[in-house]
Each structure stands twice: as C-alpha cells, then as structure tokens.
A and B are shown apart, each in its own frame.
Chain A
Amino acid sequence: MPSDPPKTSGERGVTHLRVVDTDSYTDWESVYRDNVERLYRLMYARVGNRADAEDLTSEVFRTALGPLRLASSKGEVRSYLLTTAQTVLASHWRRTLGAPVTTIDPESAMASLAEPSGTEEPSDAPQRARKILAALPERYRRILELRFLEACSIKEAAQAMGVSVSNAKVLQHRALRMAAKAGLEVGQ
C-alpha cells in the first residue's frame, strides 16, 4: 500500500527505501508493452499453468488500464498493476479452490516488476524448486522431478521408476505432503 511506512531492518536506525522509477508512460500501449511479460511471469509462477496465467494477466490489464492515470510515475503504475494482480489472484483461488494457495508479496513482486523484460530466468522459481527437492528422500525427489519438471504422466513416471501406477500416485502424494510439512516457503 502506498502509505505503508518503509520497512526498517533489525539494525537500529537503518531504513531501507525502495527506489521508485519516476519516469512516466506516454500511453496505455507503453504500459502494456513494458509490463505484460513481467505480469505474465508473476502469474505463471503462482498458478503453474499457461491457461490460467494468461487469463489472469488479461484480467489485470482489462481491469487496470481503464482507470489508469498516465501522469503517474512508472513506479506508481507498476504498484497499481501489482495491487490489481494481488486482488485478481486472490479472487482466482477463492473461485477455484476456496483458499489462497499462492499470494503476491508486494515487496518482492515489485522488485521483479522492475527487472528488465526478456530475462530468461527472472524468477526465483528454480531456486525454490531445488530447495524443495533437496529436502526430500531420493524416491520422493525423483517422482516429483518426473512429474512436475519433466512433464511425465503418472504412467510414464511409474515406468521410469519401475513401480506400479498406484505406487507412483502414493509416492507423489507422500512426497508432496512431506515437502509441504517441511514448512518450506514456497507460496510466494
């Protein structure tokens, strides 16, 4: 929120201020071009599938661009897009699963929105995935790698691991549950 006080670190008297881009956009198209890729990536990292990420990105722009004031700085416009994205994502989860599975943290998301477009690996998703997998026993790690990183069907994953489909499903379930219980910070 705009009126939030700046965050203060544990070190007394040290305040971290966020650098705000004071340039302005000239028209809605420049807002779109500069942010569509970033917003898509943001959404994709939080829903994990292209169809939903595209829908949510569209919804953010459809909602935000109409009342947008171009006189605002780029930083303010991005904050506005981000706030809209937060609400759109929260509504998506409420509608589809009835609970906020993932959220958007304004501070970290703002940093990612400010990154240059076109970066191949802009998010920390690979790092988070490695952290999750590293916390699991070998067989649990392997089933999750096969399923979610290598896009194997449950049947293919079962074949690759030399187990039955039922066993593969049980392994997958237990692996996800163990990773979830490990309390890893994977939601953002």
Chain B
Amino acid sequence: MTTRRLSAFLDALAAGRRPRPFHADPEDVEMLRVAIALRAARPGDAMPDENFVAELHKQLAEDLSPSEPTNVRPLKMRRSRAALVAVAAGLALVGGTAAVSEIANTTTVQQSTTAVPQGQALRTASFQSPTGQVVGQIVLYHGHTSWVYMNVDLPHSNGPVKCELHLANGEVVAAGTVQLHDGSGEFSQRIHMDAGGARGATLYDSSGAVVASAIFI
C-alpha cells in the first residue's frame, strides 16, 4: 500500500535513515520532493563526514592504482548499467566528439586505457545530432548474451526513433526502437549479433530522417 510505504519513507527521511524503495505515484513524488527539500535544510547535515571522505579516497586509490590491478574494486551489479551510461555521458563532455570507451566486465569499471579482455566487453558511444549536440548514449555489451542499451534526449520530439547498428563488415542491423515521450526515451534489449563488430549507430525518426549518430572507435 502506497500510503504506508510513503509514511515509512517519510519516517526514515525524518530520522536520517536510508529510506526503503517503493513504487511512488505522482502525488507521492510531489510530497517526497517537499519532504526532501525540508530535510536537506536541516542545519549541519549537509557536510560530508570526514571518515566517508577519507574512506572513499582510499577506495578510489585502490581502484585507480595501475600497479595493483588485482585490487580494482567491483561496483555492485545494480549500479553497473547506470554507471556505464554516466561514463558515456561524461566522455562526451571530456572527450569532445564521438567519445567512446571500452570497459571490461559489467561488474568492474576500469580506466579506459586498460586493455579489453576478449569475450566479454562493454562499448559505449554518444549520439550526436547533425548540429553536433550530444543527444544520448548507447551501450553495447557483447559476451555470452549480448544486449544494447540507449537513452535519447531530443527536445520537442515524440514518438518512435529507430536505431540501426553499422557493422565492420558493412552490414546494417536493426537494434530496436526508442519511444520518445516529451523528448526523452530509453530502452534495452538483447541482440543476436556480435556487438564487438559494431562500428557505429544511427537514429532515424518516423519519416526516415537521420536525427543522430554515434561512432564506436
């Protein structure tokens, strides 16, 4: 029941505990937004704990140390996909056009310069519009099973946007259709192909016009 779970969420928030997840309806969301805004204003709580800052520094040092590759700490599984999308988004900013990364193993984020082991790998690229704006990201996973994930943000657009993958051998493969609502959409699905052979991706609107493209280097 939403009301009871909403109350439990509010109780946790007021007490400074981690609230438990539940499926919130739109009215819940509005109320939670207010509660969070109030809770965030409580004096003294907005600064990070010194132990947290020190511990995270230590963990990152282990993660990023090139001399100790065996100490790379795995991310929790539930975070891995979001993390990869964030990598793609970030790379688009730092790397400029056609930012790309290959990251080995879904449970571990490593430096982009790390060699990619054969077999299982993730590849990410940013979609760019014809005018050069970054309008989304695409993530390909190729391993025992392969899947594609993408998110697209095209303001003022609605409806289906079709994605095609361009393979190194010249083939073009349909990767799925993103439904845009208020300009945004995302989807993921399994694909039956060697994702490692993908060289690029193109998005088309319902009229067949190219709205964005991405290049895997």
Interface residues of A (CB under 8 A from B): 1-4, 28-29, 32, 36-37, 40-41, 44-54, 57-69, 72, 76-77, 79-81, 83-84, 86-88, 90-92, 95-102, 120-123, 125-126, 128-130, 132-133, 144, 147-149, 151-154, 169, 172-173, 176-177, 179-181, 184, 186-187
Contact = CB atoms under 8 A, between A and B. Distances in A.
B14 A102 contact: no
B133 A3 contact: yes
A49 B18 CA distance: 6
A79 B95 CA distance: 12
Given A58-B59, A59-B79, A126-B41, 9 more contacts: A2-B92, A32-B57, A54-B48, A63-B109, A65-B60, A68-B90, A97-B29, A101-B33, A187-B33
A131 to B, nearest CB: 9
Interface stretch (B4-12, B170-178, B190-198, B202-210): B4-12
30 contacts: A2-B92, A3-B134, A32-B60, A41-B46, A47-B36, A48-B36, A48-B37, A49-B13, A49-B19, A51-B17, A51-B18, A54-B48, A57-B48, A60-B86, A62-B75, A63-B86, A63-B109, A66-B109, A83-B86, A83-B90, A88-B86, A91-B82, A148-B14, A148-B42, A149-B42, A152-B14, A176-B31, A177-B30, A180-B33, A180-B34
Interface residues of B, number: 76
B30 A180 contact: yes
Nearest to A72: B94
Nearest to B42: A149
Question: Chain A CB within 10 Å — which of B38, B48, B84, B103 has the most?
Answer: B38
B213 to A, nearest CB: 15
B16 interface: yes
B26 interface: yes
A37 B112 contact: no
Contacts of B11: 153-154
Interface in B51-99: 52-53, 56-57, 59-61, 63-64, 75, 78-79, 81-87, 89-96
Given A32-B60, A101-B33, A50 B86 contact: no
B183 interface: no
Nearest to A136: B34
A172 B89 contact: no
Contacts of A1: 92-93, 133-134
A44 B52 CA distance: 14
Max count, chain B CB within 10 A of own CB: residue among A37, A49, A76, A80: A49
A54 B22 CA distance: 20
A96 B34 contact: no
B52 to A, nearest CB: 5
Contact of A186 (B34, B63, B91): B34
B133 A49 contact: no
A60 B33 CA distance: 22
A147 B10 contact: yes
A70 to B, nearest CB: 10
A68 to B, nearest CB: 7
A121 B54 CA distance: 22
Given A29-B57, A48-B39, A180 B31 contact: yes
